[in-house]
Amino acid sequence: MNLVVGATGLLGSEICRLLAAKDKPVRGLVRRTSDRAKIERLQGLGAETVLGDVKDHPSVVAACRGVSAIISTVSSTLSRQEGDTIQSVDREGQLALIDEAKAAGVDRFVLISFLNMNVEFPLQSAKREVEQRLRESGLTYTILQPSFFMEVWLSPALGFDAANATAQIYGSGQNKISWISYQDVAKFAVASLDNPAAENAVIELGGPEALSPLEVVKIFEDLQGKIFKTQHVSEEQLRAQKEEVTDSLQESFAGLMLACAQGSVVDMREVLEQFSVQLRSVKEYARKV
């Protein structure tokens, strides 16, 4: 049995879909407050769903029974609910999940994290602590460190509104980023369960090419035949925002935006020799949206 933690999220639901498509048994950890339609979609795939929360110790123990592998995508950033914080979910919840996985005799643990960034913020600190616990746990592990998800960072939620031809640019917009699709990250997560190259490995993930935000805007302009209106948020503004906020999540968002402004390039040549994954390009994403 493969347990997906964060099963109703953007990435978790795609991982469940891929596992089901490969006829691999899937159990999704869902919360009582999760969107009922998302739970029903998981069940429609043939996935078993179990109620629980990484903040609730007994439910994690129950979810881990009979499980051979865990893929954890859980985070407090996109689906934050009452009681969710970086401390309670991204740190303590994930640490407890690793401990319970070991106690339950789980064979494999795949953790979705993110790339090391040259900016300190609470979410990154939590991720690095969880990664260290997993490496020291004795479990066979894979730590996936993807770059910026194009479906999130090139969306209206973060100021990139293709429909209205407007884009908020963090920093100068000239530093390159290896934008990656969450769908490709899901493929790597599922492949990691069986690929010897993923055993006890930390794998950085990026897309097929590194593009600056301004180059991304040009791709959308060419496809849509429209000139985008861009608005820049300087690195100085982002640093000031990071220092002024008191909430750890808002500080982390500012830190992520600052890291985005600084760029993030991943050389995928060696990884693609070990994994048969066809990476989605920004242009393909732009055509779809």
Please write the tens of the pLDDT for every residue from 184-238.
Answer: 999 999 999 999 999 999 999 999 999 999 999 999 999 999 999 999 999 999 9
Question: pLDDT tens-digit profile of 73-97?
Answer: 999 886 667 678 999 999 999 999 9
User: Considering the chain, what percentage of its residues have pLDDT values greater than 70?
Assistant: 98
Out of 3.40.50.150, 3.10.20.30, 3.40.50.720, 1.10.10.10, the CATH code matching 2-146+182-205+265-277 is: 3.40.50.720
Number of other residues whose CB lies within 10 A of the CB of residue 174: 12
Q: Which residues contact 141 (CB under 8 A, 6 or more apart)?
A: 108, 109, 110, 111, 134, 135, 200, 201
Torsion of CA 100, 76, 133, 68, to 10 degrees: 40
> What pLDDT, on a 0 to 100 scale, did the predictor assign at position 80?
64
The average confidence (pLDDT) of the chain is 95
> What pLDDT, on a 0 to 100 scale, did the predictor assign at position 79?
66
Question: pLDDT tens-digit profile of 147-186?
Answer: 999 999 999 999 999 999 999 999 999 999 999 999 999 9
**Dist CA 203 CA 266 (whole Å):** 10
State mean pLDDT over 47-53. Answer: 95
pLDDT-derived band at 23 (thresholds 50, 70, 90) equals very high
Residue ranges of domains in the chain: 2-146+182-205+265-277
> What pLDDT, on a 0 to 100 scale, did the predictor assign at position 203?
98
